[in-house]
Amino acid sequence: MNIQDIATKINGKVIGDAQHAIKFPAKIEDAQQNNITFLANIKYLDFVYLSNAGCIVISSDVYNENMKGNFILVDDAYSAFSKVLSIFNAEVTTEISDKAFIHPSAKIGIKAHIYPFVYIGEHVTIGDHCIIYPNVTINAHCVVGNNCILHSGAVIGSDGFGFAPIPDGSFHKIPQLGNVVIEDNCEIGANTCIDSATMGSTIIRKGVKLDNLIQVAHNVEIGEHTVIAAQTGISGSTKIGHHNMIGGQVGFVGHISVAPFTKINAQSAIAQTIKKEGLVLCGTPAFDMKQYFKSTIVFKSLPEMEKRIRDLESTINQLKNT
Amino acid sequence: MNIQDIATKINGKVIGDAQHAIKFPAKIEDAQQNNITFLANIKYLDFVYLSNAGCIVISSDVYNENMKGNFILVDDAYSAFSKVLSIFNAEVTTEISDKAFIHPSAKIGIKAHIYPFVYIGEHVTIGDHCIIYPNVTINAHCVVGNNCILHSGAVIGSDGFGFAPIPDGSFHKIPQLGNVVIEDNCEIGANTCIDSATMGSTIIRKGVKLDNLIQVAHNVEIGEHTVIAAQTGISGSTKIGHHNMIGGQVGFVGHISVAPFTKINAQSAIAQTIKKEGLVLCGTPAFDMKQYFKSTIVFKSLPEMEKRIRDLESTINQLKNT
Amino acid sequence: MNIQDIATKINGKVIGDAQHAIKFPAKIEDAQQNNITFLANIKYLDFVYLSNAGCIVISSDVYNENMKGNFILVDDAYSAFSKVLSIFNAEVTTEISDKAFIHPSAKIGIKAHIYPFVYIGEHVTIGDHCIIYPNVTINAHCVVGNNCILHSGAVIGSDGFGFAPIPDGSFHKIPQLGNVVIEDNCEIGANTCIDSATMGSTIIRKGVKLDNLIQVAHNVEIGEHTVIAAQTGISGSTKIGHHNMIGGQVGFVGHISVAPFTKINAQSAIAQTIKKEGLVLCGTPAFDMKQYFKSTIVFKSLPEMEKRIRDLESTINQLKNT
């Protein structure tokens, strides 16, 4: 494949040798003459001058004539390079491993790739074009839409964590009769757990992307196109709005709702309902992120601040006594 | 099944049409004429008036004659409805999958359900009436009591994380010779990890309920009927007392002990031994929860507080110079 | 085996009955006459006087002649006892389970132990003397060095979490073409996830020890002999230096680097590059640990501090008006 072939596919304009051959994509600092790479972040601009890459995908705004080598000019280099990666990505194979367990009552759509050691329980429904990596468990009655990717070790439809206290101090398990519904175009990270609802469904709306090691408790609902980073946990019955962007290791208490377009910084705790759209939150418990960072700066100097108060108190005592 | 059948089983009193047929339980906001539902939390009282449910299980204290429809009156609606769910819960089947690996030296009790891709190592002992979901690993010499449920991806008896530093800056693995003992009536969540003891046993006492993605390190002991929410981590040799209630994403340092009946809020860090029973803790490091929340309110306004101190300092300087 | 046999192997000096027979190691509080145990931490010194152990491995500095029983004196009791444990540790067997899936193009070194339900994908390379526990996934093109241990449920080479936003509000998956490289002598904990690089490799340098449930995102690099406790998460493209010691539940933002010999306390958040070697950090965001603990002490009394400021303000107002 040459540079012109790639430029045509990503709708870009070639500067330099359009016939130059490209073998594979690489990072800008590693790229050699047979590699294509990209510059999306101005912070790394110096790399363009130092790079030995065969071709660099770059925004027309950023390119200038002092840059030497071959380029493909595009509007949005990040998004265009994502298409370049797709060109070089291995063809998805369609295969259902005979080392997977698929209950006879389960329904699997067309063009699925189901790897070894996947467990698919009774009456599970899986849509078209899904990839289910090794060691995934999908328990009875769960539903997975079209074009979904479930990474290794993900557990869909484990029992919700519900127990009623008994007077003798022990707990009685509350049966979990519901299921999990994952709509179209979702990606579920490795070792992420999504519990079944007690009754009804735990729902992952279309386009949601969950990273690895996330906990989604029973009866949670996650709105369309919300993206959640690794190790975040969402407690029972909480409803996350659409288009949220949620960092890693965030915690949500149960039975609250979060407005659409909320952004939540890593390690925050969301302890109550967020009604206003578009907030940017941070902290335990979370509040406005800018305010939070101002508070953390003062937090560092709390011991000195306490001393300043002590000094003030002693000065005032002197003043009062004179 | 009709309402009278159910009322008899949960020891309740029918108001309305005792012969009305019920097909399945549902949430109060979703319930239709063939569903039974419940009201446990007064917060949701309005739903009773709006619900289309065929029957509502409700506390005698909460019911009043203006409520229309069919009801079963009970003392404790939450606990009673848990019994209703049990009535409709699928019969637990007894089956040992031929796609599981069970070492010939392992002993499995009666009426076990062992799913595909479960690994049960040498000399493992598993009690009666256990359910072990797909992709669970139980390593050599571990012991599981009666009536336990192990959810998918749980790992019982992975090596404790112990390394001795070597003068060359590398680490020497400390062999982990112990095991894990899980007593009767425990539930272990999906992808939760319980490490083997270095020597002796990591012990999960009877009735303990662990949610998903929890880390239990080597030589930990968790007391009877303690309940722990998802993503909490307990470091090596720490002993948690009985009847603790521990939130999600909590961390415990190693080699400490926590008194019985302690409640710990989500995302807290327990950095030292808790001797007094019945405390309610929060924070990193944790202290009294009410006090913690008061401190977090002030934390939000730290920048203004710093300004107030600056103002005081400047006013005092003026006063001193007059 | 008798005490003299063990002393010879760990290069120690016997005090007491060198012919006394030892069957197995045990904890000092549990040890009986046929057990060997150790004292490494002076805090537990009283146990030496109370112990019923057949033999205690103890530092020459700590031993005194009032102690009764049999002893092996060594320089470093912790490290010496680690060797004792090795003596009693079960011989590692060499076996590739026929219930594992190994792609025909994968290469496995000598003396590997590969357990049931392990998935090893296309063109994976695994070195010599590796132990791969049940339910591990190693995806295509990943590389594992010699003497590595991968615990159950670990996922090596899941897709990096990369998505490009699309103008319609949805996300386009960025193909992940890279792999994971784990160098020699590494240990990867149960249910830990290491994502493949977008391009190039996510790299775990030699001697790294990762505990359970850790998240390592795409293009991360972890330096030699760094040790990381459970449930920590490292975001994309971050580079951790060599010989770091990192506590549990720590979070790292993406695209930063951390100097060698950094120590990071549990639950901290590392939000920017750490350039100086040897720092000890704590907090969200993290700073000097000692300073952090001083600030947390003041944090507890913030409400009283606010009151002291109010009192000062009112006193000053009175002074000004007189």
Please choose, from the candidates A261, A252, A256, the residue with its C-alpha nearest in 3D space to the C-alpha of residue A279: A261
Asked if B73 contacts B58 with a C-beta cutoff of 8 angstroms, the reply is yes
Give B3-91's CATH code, choosing from 3.20.20.80, 3.40.1390.10, 3.30.230.70, 3.30.70.100: 3.40.1390.10
pLDDT at A152 over 80: yes
Could you say which of A85, A117, A248 has the minimum Cβ distance to residue C117? A117
Whether residue B85 lies within 8 A of chain C, CB to CB, comes out as no
Per-residue pLDDT tens for C35-64? 999 998 888 899 999 999 999 999 999 999
Asked if A164 contacts A174 with a C-beta cutoff of 8 angstroms, the reply is yes
Beta-carbon neighbour count of residue B140 at 10 Å?
16
Q: Which chain A residues touch B265 with a CB distance below 8 Å?
A: none
Domain borders along chain B are 3-91, 95-293
pLDDT at C285 over 80: yes
Residue B94: pLDDT band by 50, 70, 90 thresholds?
confident
Asked if A118 contacts A97 with a C-beta cutoff of 8 angstroms, the reply is yes
Instruction: Count how many pairs of residues, chain A against chain B, have C-beta atoms within 8 Å.
Output: 168
Question: Residue B308 burial (CB < 10 Å; 0-12/13-18/19+)?
Answer: middle
Give the integer Cα–Cα distance in Å for C175 and A90. Answer: 9
Residue entry with tokens 């350039």: C275
Q: Which chain C residues touch B253 with a CB distance below 8 Å?
A: 266
Structure tokens at C132: 């791969």
- Phi, psi torsion values for B212, nearest 5 degrees: -75, 155
Give the integer Cα–Cα distance in Å for B41 and B30. Answer: 17
Average pLDDT, chain B: 95
pLDDT of residue A41: 84
Average pLDDT, chain A: 95
pLDDT at A208 over 90: yes
SS3 content of chain B, % helix, strand, coil (to 5): 20, 30, 50
pLDDT of residue B321: 81
Question: Residue A65 burial (CB < 10 Å; 0-12/13-18/19+)?
Answer: exposed
User: Can you give the pTM of this predicted structure?
Assistant: 0.95
DSSP conformational letter for A44: G
Q: Which chain B residues touch C302 with a CB distance below 8 Å?
A: 294-295, 298-299
Q: Which chain B residues touch C211 with a CB distance below 8 Å?
A: 161, 215
Starting at the earlier edge strand, list the strands of the sheet with A251-252: A101-102, A119-120, A137-138, A155-158, A193-195, A215-216, A233-234, A251-252, A269-270
Please choose, from the candidates A181, A108, A178, A114, the residue with its C-alpha nearest in 3D space to the C-alpha of residue A144: A181
Give the pLDDT mean for C139-158. 98
Asked if B302 contacts A291 with a C-beta cutoff of 8 angstroms, the reply is no
Residue C321: pLDDT band by 50, 70, 90 thresholds?
confident
pLDDT at A322 over 80: no
Residue entry with tokens 């179209």: A184
C95-293 topology per CATH = UDP N-Acetylglucosamine Acyltransferase; domain 1 (2.160.10)
3-state secondary structure chain C: CEHHHHHHHHCCEEECCCCCECCEECCCCCCCCCEEEEECCHHHHHHHHHCCCCEEEEECCCCCCCCCCCEEEECCHHHHHHHHHHHHCCCCCCEECCCCEECCCCEECCCCEECCCCEECCCCEECCCCEECCCCEECCCCEECCCCEECCCCEEEECCCCEEECCCCCEEECCCCCEEEECCCCEECCCCEEECCCCCEEEECCCCEECCCCEECCCCEECCCCEECCCCEECCCCEECCCCEECCCCEECCCCEECCCCEECCCCEECCCECCCCCEEEECCEEEHHHHHHHHHHHHCHHHHHHHHHHHHHHHHHHHCC
pLDDT at C290 over 90: yes
Whether residue C155 lies within 8 A of chain A, CB to CB, comes out as yes
Give the pLDDT mean for C75-87. 92
Whether residue C249 lies within 8 A of chain B, CB to CB, comes out as yes
Does residue A167 sit in helix, strand or coil? coil
pLDDT of residue A319: 86
Distance from chain centroid for Cα C45: 27
Report in angstroms the alpha-carbon separations of C302 from A299, A300, A306, B136, C306: 10, 13, 9, 47, 6
pLDDT at C94 over 90: no
Question: Residue B239 burial (CB < 10 Å; 0-12/13-18/19+)?
Answer: middle
Per-residue pLDDT tens for A63-115? 999 999 999 999 999 889 999 999 998 777 789 999 999 999 999 999 999 99
Per-residue pLDDT tens for B251-305? 999 999 999 999 999 999 999 999 999 999 999 999 999 999 999 999 999 999 9
Structure tokens at C98: 């026929």
- Confirm whether A3-91 and A95-293 share one CATH topology: no
Per-residue pLDDT tens for B186-218? 999 999 999 999 999 999 999 999 999 999 999
pLDDT of residue C190: 98
ipTM above threshold 0.85? yes
pLDDT at C89 over 90: no
Mutate to test the interface with C, among A78, A86, A211 (most CBs of C within 10 A): A211
How close A239 gets to chain B, by Cα (Å)?
Answer: 15
Identify whether B285 is preceded by a cis peptide bond (ω within 30 of 0): yes
Could you say which of A161, A170, A315 has the minimum Cβ distance to residue B207? A170
pLDDT of residue B40: 86
- Per the annotation, the verdict on C218 as an active-site residue is yes
Give the integer Cα–Cα distance in Å for C38 and C81. Answer: 7
